[in-house]
Structure 1
Amino acid sequence: MAKDELPRLFERFYQARGAEGGTGIGLSLVKAFVELHKGEVHAESEEGKGVTIVVSLPDSQPGYDPAKDVEEKPKAEAGLIDDNYVATNISAKESAERITNAEDFDHDRPLVLIIDDNNGMRTYLRSILKDKYNISEAANGKEGLEKARREVPKLVICDVMMPVMDGLEFTRQLKADTATCHIPVILLTARSLTEQREEGYGTGADSYLTKPFSGSVLLARIDNLLRSRFTLRSIFSGSTEEKEEEKSLNTLDQTFIGRLREVMQKNMGDSEYSVERLGADVGLSRVQLYRKVKALTGQTPVELLRKARLEKAKKLLLKTERSVAEIAYEVGFTSPSYFNKCFKDEFGMSPGESR
């Protein structure tokens, strides 16, 4: 290694000229660990012969109390990351065990899936996101695709170059699946070639970041993508605005919304019709259905089904002379009083006042 490169060797993300592979994180972590132990680290190199990394550690630590090890052990085992991004390595499998399929899992903290074969990069990304998002991890595109289909995250951050399945193929398959085609994808790459960017966007990727990148840039990019996700205001009114909104969706999402509307209209009179049956009828699991419907409409499947029943009830009230109770039962409500409450909450007036 040339001597003029040595001073930057321990900078995060720095890679020497001609370096193959890696992310430039390893030696910055080494430096962080050494400094935590009040030590020093430097590099010596003779070009063409190799590089020597020299670590010097004191034989004792001033003020060190062995008793504190007992208190600190649970933190280390949990893989928590301090402000210097030093962490116990957490495997993708261990990360998976933290993910629950509870429907409200991402209510306050959206689920972000990180896909990267480099454990150090996953650790770094996790340290950036952990305060604001729930995190799931995968070590390659194939594993990531399985997780995306099972967990349906709000957003995916995916490396381009990976074994088994690379980021481009992952994105292509994710965007071709009805359950996941709405999920935004940020691709990460160590290259900035225009051709590769074009190929990435061609697979359906929503954004591209070139390594190295800052944590603030990544967070801003995620925030912009999530805020810009289009949410349908209604899928049952039949208005011109509704039809125009649906046109902005991709083809798979338009087909999904059409199928969802058809199934709900067909079964809304059945008071026993459940979210599980709705999911089965549209070909999605309960979690897939919940998160996709929430992403597209801002409502849960239960809320959407109730809205569909109320929209139909409103039309029946205007077009027929049937009683409020009869209409309530026809659209799947088992209690006229509960129907009256829901109707007033939705439209700001009682069923009788709407006639």
Structure 2
Amino acid sequence: TMVKAVPLLLVGLGIVIAFRANVINIGAEGQLIVGALITTYLAVELGDTWPNYLVITLGIIAGTLMGALWAGIPGYLKAYLNVNEILSTIMMNQIAIQIGYFLLRGPMIDPKEVEAGTNIPHSARLPRPTDLPRFTDVAGWFGFTDSAKDLNLTGFWGELYGLLVEPTRLHTGFFIAIIMAILVYIFLWRTTIGYRIRAVGLNPAAARYAGIQVPRTIILSMGLSGAFAGLAGAVEILGLHHRMFEPLAVSAGYGFSGIVVALFGKLHPIGAIPASILFGGLLVGGDKMQRAVQVPQVFVTALLGLIVLFVVSSEIWSRRRARRRVAVQTTAEENE
């Protein structure tokens, strides 16, 4: 669940920023893919010669910047040419997918696949020193090597200890995601730029009248949104997959599920944390149900859609109710 929550939270944070500026980013899938591609390329090419901490840092930065660049293109088209961002981001998704397939069948394909004649479209395995440390590794640094059973830990504390210390796929990308959520909150509600983004989202005309550069703010919000999607792609490669394979398998629908996380978290970065864990659990549960009792995975997808429908409907209803309350108060004041 926590492993699934990492990319969901990172993508969701990007969606929060875009939606706060009243810009709809449907292109997180493509932004995640290009971030994963550039991170894979750098790690494979530099992992054996450069220090591992430098390769990891460079891979994360490159993935983040690539995602920002990929999202900045539709942001620019929206800001200066008034091109619908929904259409342009969907088109950018398809371009990213096709670029991924081209690279994985050509320049980035694993040489071992070519030698064997199988030509399965995936990259070489990243050098192991470039893997993001897992929770087990971090616990070992502090001397926690005993299992929960050895320490006679049971119940909640035993499960928590097992999650943090015993062998698990959960990696330090989880820490990165939590820290990013806190930073996004500070950015949106404690900085001038964050205030401008929210002002543009609430009323672009009023923001423009107040002297805010609306086009630049739109491009910035889209770029930041794509940066978080690109970061999600980099973290998935370095922390979980350790190689790039079919683009749609790497993205795994996180670009769209992240929208659900952002909406369910009320477009608040802190609210996105429990929302990502909840939907991560739903995705894991859907996989297990499909294997155990043959319940189709699309059932979970449909459930996510229903949740979005209910969240959006409740938000619309709340806004209409607020407008009616204001209208009633205005009428009463005029009658007086």
Give your verdict on TM over 0.5: no
Relative to its length, the structure with more strand (as a share) is: 1
TM-score with structure 2 setting the length = 0.24
The structure with more radius of gyration:
1
For CA contacts below 8 A with separation 6 or more, give which structure has more relative contact order: 2
Relative to its length, the structure with more helix (as a share) is: 2
